[in-house]
Structure 1
């Protein structure tokens, strides 16, 4: 679960299809405007332009094919021509060019020399502008492609953090907290609090950021064989957080993959500036939240605390954020795992007085307020032709007088 640091105003949402809708709407308006201006030659001109655009894309794909076939066929494609063709040619472009050409031929439209010259000139201009970079993708489009295809650094780090650590640490956390609470004292929260600073600066010890956050001790270790290492040890630390003479305790740690993001931003060869680093931290937060929420083993066992880096001058910002998260959890209601019901049947008496019904009711539903186990009640089997029997005292008394 996420923190309470107004992440809705910080974490970017996934991009919508608004640009596609706007482009389609404006395209239809321009198409209508062109038809109103010259409806007689509209079909011919529209077909020529559509054919020209598809030819331009096919020629550009041929240039890509030449590069891949001559220099990368063995290393990247193992000499498989079909894979090279699929990587360079988009199927709908080739299909569109052929379909447009057939429609023009079947419709009896033939291009003059002047029109063929125009098509050649448009293809030339397109290829020159493309080679010079004027028709390249905008940074927003590149970002959208990377997010859609899960190709960002943050995606890889989030999945690595989950599969290599959280996936087996979080399910075992409840057992470790229970063993700790039985001997050391109850914690303020049984969840693992994962701290994610926006600037990706992860200190060695939380005490370096806030003196009100003090290390207490480690939980029982988890050992498992991983990647050839026998009995690799995984630890989680308990910290004491104080505020206004009030002490809280919880399990917390920083998200270690943020160290990678910060170190990448310090290397010029990585091409990773401060702005890109912050975007990757937010994307890491969003991706990790989605992964953990989709995991039944990890749900309700964690807390992501997004720390804003605009708190300079506040030496106790960290402790306030952690305590705010702990207090918010007190009012949350969580669904416990469904337990298998016992195979018990409590019969319900169809005939008898209200007193008998109350006795059965109290037997089936004891008045113990701490009992949350549901019970099942079934009536005795009866024939579908039987007449209903009135069992109330009022009806019995009136019937006896008669």
Structure 2
């Protein structure tokens, strides 16, 4: 389960379709305004402008085709020209240009020298603007494309973290915590707490950030054969967290190791990865990873993502305070898939019967609400008639 303080202030939401809706509304208003100003041969002018736009797009696609065909035919497309055509040309644009030209022809519209000159000028302006990146996508559009198509660095790191580690570590966490609680001590939370600092600086030891977070011991190991490595070991560490009033908590926690990759990329000039991009990728990593894990029923309710705001790096015990806030918040949550030894305490049979039927002389309406269980019955038992008129 994912519950992070200040999530609305830090984690960006997925982009909506508001720009598309606004563009449609503004386009309709522009068409109506143009019609009011000059309604003579309105349909003809709309068709010519639409034809110009599609012709301009097709001409630029021909420029892309020249690049791909001359320099990348073998390496990128394995000598298949059809794949170059699919990569450079938009089939809807070509079809629309053909349909519009056919409609103009059937409507009796002939391309005069004035029309051809206008079309030529429009194509020239478009091609020059495209070459100078005047008509290039805005940064917000590029960001949306990368997020929708899962092309960001954060997407790849989140999926790699899931398939390479969390997918088989989290489902096994229940058994490891159960064994740990039975032989040693009871953890304050059965979940794996994954720390995500916004500055992506993940130290090797949490003690280096906060001396109130101290390593205690490791949970039982998980050994798997992975990618040619026999009996590869996976361990989760239990830490002791001390609060301001000397109260102690124990939980399994670790930093998200892919954040180290983001941090090192931001320190390498060749990666072209600045501090601003790094923070955006950390937040996108958090959002992507939370969605992946929530959609996996074997991982849900077995993790906790903890965002660490780098604005508080000057506070010596900010990390321990943040973890304790998450631990105390979990105490009031309803767990859909709890660990029985930790979170569910079965009641004795007499306690169950007393909760169901009530103690003698006790007013049921005034008593505190209790958890009620029905007595298990066999599915093969014979039906019993309980109506008042039975036997009459």
User: What TM-score do you get using the length of structure 2 for normalisation?
Assistant: 0.88
**SS of the residue aligned with 1:300?**
coil
Deviation digits for residues 204-231 of structure 1 (CA, Å, limit 9, x no counterpart): 1000111110100011111000010000
CA distance in 1, matches of 2:206, 2:336: 32
Partner residue, 1:143: 143
Identify if the C-alpha distance between structure 1 residues 374 and 296 changes in structure 2 by more than 3 Å, giving closer, same or farther: farther
CA distance in 2, matches of 1:366, 1:183: 38
* Structure 1 residue 319 corresponds to structure 2 residue 320: yes
> Alpha-carbon deviation of 1:165?
0.2
Partner residue, 2:188: 188
Correspondence 1:172-251 to 2 at 5 A? 172-243=172-243, 244-251=245-252
Deviation digits for residues 83-115 of structure 1 (CA, Å, limit 9, x no counterpart): 111100011110110011011011111121011
> Alpha-carbon deviation of 1:367?
8.1
The answer to whether the Cα contact below 8 Å between 1:3 and 1:306 also exists between their aligned partners in 2 is no
Partner residue, 1:359: none
* Structure 1 residue 282 corresponds to structure 2 residue 246: no
Partner residue, 1:295: 296
Partner residue, 1:76: 76
Deviation digits for residues 227-252 of structure 1 (CA, Å, limit 9, x no counterpart): 10000001100000011121000000
**SS of the residue aligned with 2:276?**
helix
Partner residue, 1:390: 389
* Structure 1 residue 170 corresponds to structure 2 residue 170: yes
> Alpha-carbon deviation of 1:5?
2.1
CA distance in 1, matches of 2:89, 2:375: 62
CA distance in 1, matches of 2:25, 2:34: 14
> Alpha-carbon deviation of 1:374?
6.2
Deviation digits for residues 174-194 of structure 1 (CA, Å, limit 9, x no counterpart): 111111111111000010000
* Structure 1 residue 260 corresponds to structure 2 residue 270: no
The answer to whether the Cα contact below 8 Å between 1:5 and 1:307 also exists between their aligned partners in 2 is no
Partner residue, 2:364: none
Deviation digits for residues 136-168 of structure 1 (CA, Å, limit 9, x no counterpart): 111110000000000000000000000000000
CA distance in 1, matches of 2:102, 2:371: 77
Identify if the C-alpha distance between structure 1 residues 370 and 257 changes in structure 2 by more than 3 Å, giving closer, same or farther: same
> Alpha-carbon deviation of 1:312?
3.4
CA distance in 2, matches of 1:374, 1:110: 86
CA distance in 1, matches of 2:191, 2:158: 19
Q: Which runs of 5+ in 2 are unaligned?
A: 339-352, 360-369
Q: Greater CA radius of gyration, 1 or 2?
A: 1
CA distance in 2, matches of 1:19, 1:103: 30
**SS of the residue aligned with 2:171?**
helix
CA distance in 2, matches of 1:143, 1:15: 10
**SS of the residue aligned with 2:143?**
helix
**SS of the residue aligned with 2:170?**
helix
**SS of the residue aligned with 2:248?**
strand
The answer to whether the Cα contact below 8 Å between 2:193 and 2:252 also exists between their aligned partners in 1 is yes
User: What TM-score do you get using the length of structure 1 for normalisation?
Assistant: 0.86
CA distance in 2, matches of 1:370, 1:131: 70
Partner residue, 1:334: 335
The answer to whether the Cα contact below 8 Å between 2:216 and 2:240 also exists between their aligned partners in 1 is yes
CA distance in 2, matches of 1:245, 1:271: 45
Worse-matched range after superposition: 65-74 or 291-300: 65-74
CA distance in 2, matches of 1:67, 1:373: 73
**SS of the residue aligned with 1:310?**
helix
CA distance in 1, matches of 2:18, 2:390: 66
**SS of the residue aligned with 2:311?**
coil
Q: Which runs of 5+ in 1 are unaligned?
A: 338-361, 383-387, 397-402
Equivalenced residues, count: 364
- Root-mean-square deviation (Å): 2.3
CA distance in 2, matches of 1:159, 1:225: 20
Partner residue, 1:348: none
**SS of the residue aligned with 1:171?**
coil
**SS of the residue aligned with 2:310?**
coil
The answer to whether the Cα contact below 8 Å between 1:4 and 1:305 also exists between their aligned partners in 2 is yes
CA distance in 2, matches of 1:75, 1:35: 51
CA distance in 2, matches of 1:188, 1:177: 11
CA distance in 1, matches of 2:382, 2:6: 54
> Alpha-carbon deviation of 1:13?
0.5
**SS of the residue aligned with 1:85?**
helix
